[in-house]
Every structure is written in structure tokens, then in C-alpha cells.
Amino acid sequence: MGDCIDYDELLTGKRRETTYSGVNALLTKPAVSIGRALFLFVLAMYGFQDSDIPGVPAPPPLEQASSVGTGVVIAFTLIPTICLIFALISLYFFPLEGEEWQQQKQKILEIHQKKQQEYNNKMKEEERDGRELT
């Protein structure tokens, strides 16, 4: 995420880490819920039967259809693999090496050094102004 934030700073001139962190949290929470719902949906598609009814004492476990095992394997392996492939494809189009990437990193370094120098000068001025008042 740091490289995305650096790239955004090159485009906008603003450093917006907190915005990116907030959006990340907003996307992560629903993604977890969707992942769990998808897992349960796949299990139901393969015939999983839930014996737990809220408020009713738990009966002995139901015998599940043999297809439920296939559903578990698909839910734990195939779906995450598909999601991983989509992630890798998107990463392929985000350059993290090469001359252009090195130039961007150098430009960010120069911007940060300039901001640090401006901050240091401002602190010296404020310190000088504080001494002149006393």
C-alpha cells in the first residue's frame, strides 16, 4: 500500500495515508463477510445440512452427503485460488521495478527531503521568534 500512497503523492502533491487506511478498512470488513457467506453458500450447494437450530437443544450430528466433502475442498481451495489469480493479474499491471519505478522513488525522495528542509527552516524561525520575544 505504501507504493500506492507514494504514487498518489506524485499525482496530487498530497500525502494521504489515513485516507488509504480508512478505505482499506471499509473494504476489508465487507470482504470478510462476503467470503464467509460465499463459503456457506458453496457448502449449501453441495448438500450441507445444518442441524443447529437456535433455541433448540443440539441433536446428534447429521450424516452429511458425500458431496459435502467436495464442497469443502472447493470452498477452501478453488475459490481462494481464483481470487489469488485475480490479485496476481492486477499486480502484474502495477510496476514495482524498472527505470520508471526507480525514477518515481527518486522523485518521492526529493519531495520528502524538500518538505523536511522546509519544516526544519520553519522550526528554526519559530525558535528564533520565540527568543526575540523574551
Report the domain count for the chain.
1
Residue 66 lies in a domain: no
Mean pLDDT (10-residue bins), the chain, 134 residues = 86 90 92 91 88 67 84 91 93 82 90 92 86 62
Residue 16 lies in a domain: no
Q: In whole angstroms, what is the distance from residue 86 CA to residue 80 CA?
A: 10
pLDDT at position 41, please? 92
- Outline where the chain has alpha helix (H): 2-12, 17-45, 67-73, 79-92, 99-133
Residue 71: CB atoms within 10 Å: 20
| Residue 14, SS3 per DSSP | coil
Residue 121 lies in a domain: yes
Residue 67 lies in a domain: no
Residue 47 lies in a domain: no
pLDDT at position 91, please? 85
- 44-61 pLDDT tens trace: 999 888 776 676 666 666
Locate 47 and state its grid cell.
Answer: 448438500
Residue 84 lies in a domain: no
Range of the domain at 127: 99-134
Residue 107 lies in a domain: yes
